[in-house]
């Protein structure tokens, strides 16, 4: 799989870019590094920040203008064990790595991109934490993208919660079906061994529902993985009723349940994607009125402590 790590490399897929767009992106990538798969870049129709795929991975100068915090929900050091985050009594979030296939420019954890690549392998600490907290029933393995991990580490992250009888549910958050569908096949045997492993994936635009993505989803379902989607409401990407209706109906048609639509978090460097709450509620109300219940995700805003508010 080909991953581009410099904005200028994307010209090999998209042709020559507008020089001022490229210059600005090269300034931004020094602060927030660039990363994109060849597969995902090929979904672009117009290399412009108005294109709903291009703007999800191509750096915009506004990223340097924001004023929010880098970790507004206090994820760092929330449990005293590196990589483990706790917001709810019965759930534990595992930040398994800072690596992703694509750096989504609206990411709430973009603070981690510049750190040296890390892989959460503190198996003993993870196991001990679960044993000492039997109230945790649900483990969410996130990142970064856990599908970037080598298979032995990936499996270890499933083996540990499976060993603890109080853990009833294991979930993985990944964008692999959307941005690197070929990678999904490398993990199927492991996922099948620990079935059911719930997959939370992250489609934001109907153009991302390609035959390759649908095939990867089908393979995951065959491996025993129920699949939910968590979208983020993004200005200029999917902030209309029409786009979201096509997205959610398209997801249902490939076997993915629209689960959450999140308001973009107030994280430094992402403010230009924010959709005002009144506009978001107008769109969500119309979705609720016109789509079948199955096609309408919960709309959620992250509160100050990172806990969800459902307006």
Smallest gap from residue 16 Cβ to ligand SF4 (A) = 26
The footprint of ligand SF4 (CB under 6 A) covers 100, 103-104, 107, 109, 143-145, 175
CA distance 29 to 251: 32
- Could you give the C-alpha distances from 148 to 1, 50, 67, 105, 166, in angstroms and in order? 11, 29, 31, 18, 28
Smallest gap from residue 164 Cβ to ligand SF4 (A) = 25
Smallest gap from residue 144 Cβ to ligand SF4 (A) = 5
Smallest gap from residue 44 Cβ to ligand SF4 (A) = 17
Q: DSSP for 198-218?
A: EEEE---SGGG--HHHHHHHH
Q: State the burial class of residue 26 (Cβ atoms within 10 Å of its Cβ: 0-12, 13-18, 19+).
A: middle
If the CB atoms of residues 103 and 171 are measured against ligand SF4, the closer one turns out to be: 103
If the CB atoms of residues 103 and 268 are measured against ligand SF4, the closer one turns out to be: 103
If the CB atoms of residues 54 and 164 are measured against ligand SF4, the closer one turns out to be: 54
Tokens of 293: 């219940």
Q: Which residues pair with 93 in a beta bridge?
A: 85, 140
Residue 246's φ and ψ, nearest 5 degrees, are -65, -40
If the CB atoms of residues 164 and 199 are measured against ligand SF4, the closer one turns out to be: 199
Q: Give the E-state strand segments of 202-264 in sequence order.
A: 227-233, 257-263
Q: Which residues pair with 69 in a beta bridge?
A: 267
Smallest gap from residue 143 Cβ to ligand SF4 (A) = 5
- Local structure of 98: helix, strand or coil: coil
Phi/psi class of residue 306: alpha, beta or left (left: φ > 0; alpha: ψ in -120 to 50)?
left
If the CB atoms of residues 164 and 297 are measured against ligand SF4, the closer one turns out to be: 297
Smallest gap from residue 298 Cβ to ligand SF4 (A) = 18
If the CB atoms of residues 231 and 254 are measured against ligand SF4, the closer one turns out to be: 231
If the CB atoms of residues 57 and 164 are measured against ligand SF4, the closer one turns out to be: 57
**Among 117, 107, 115, 105, CA closest to 28:** 105
Smallest gap from residue 290 Cβ to ligand SF4 (A) = 28
CA 114 to chain centre: 18
């Amino acid at each position: 799989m080909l991953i581009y790590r410099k904005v200028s490399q994307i010209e090999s897929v998209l042709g020559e870019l507008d020089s001022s767009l490229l210059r600005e992106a090269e300034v931004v990538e020094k602060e927030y590094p660039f990363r994109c798969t060849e597969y995902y870049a090929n979904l672009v129709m117009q290399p412009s920040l108005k294109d709903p795929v291009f703007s999800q991975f191509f750096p915009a100068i506004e990223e340097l203008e924001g004023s929010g915090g880098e970790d507004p929900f206090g994820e760092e050091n929330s449990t005293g064990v590196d990589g483990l985050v706790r917001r709810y009594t019965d759930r534990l979030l595992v930040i398994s790595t800072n690596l992703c296939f694509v750096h989504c420019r609206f990411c709430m954890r973009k603070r981690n991109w510049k750190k040296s690549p890390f892989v959460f392998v503190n198996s003993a600490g993870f196991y001990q934490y679960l044993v000492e907290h039997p109230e945790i029933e649900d483990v969410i393995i996130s990142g970064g993208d856990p599908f970037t991990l080598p298979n032995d580490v990936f499996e270890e992250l499933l083996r540990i919660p499976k060993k603890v009888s109080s853990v009833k549910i294991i979930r993985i958050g990944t964008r692999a079906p959307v941005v690197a569908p070929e990678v999904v096949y490398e993990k199927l045997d492991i996922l099948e061994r620990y079935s059911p492993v719930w997959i939370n994936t992250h489609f934001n635009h109907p153009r991302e529902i390609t035959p390759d993505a649908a095939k990867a989803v089908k393979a995951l379902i065959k491996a025993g993985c129920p699949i939910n989607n968590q979208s983020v409401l993004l200005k200029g990407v999917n902030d209309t009723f029409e786009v979201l209706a096509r997205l959610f109906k398209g997801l249902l048609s490939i076997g993915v349940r629209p689960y959450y639509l999140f308001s973009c978090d107030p994280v430094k460097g992402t403010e230009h994607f924010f959709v005002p709450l009144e506009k978001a509620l107008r769109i969500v109300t119309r979705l609720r009125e016109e789509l079948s219940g199955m096609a309408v995700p919960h709309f959620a805003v992250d509160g100050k402590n990172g806990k969800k508010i459902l307006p």
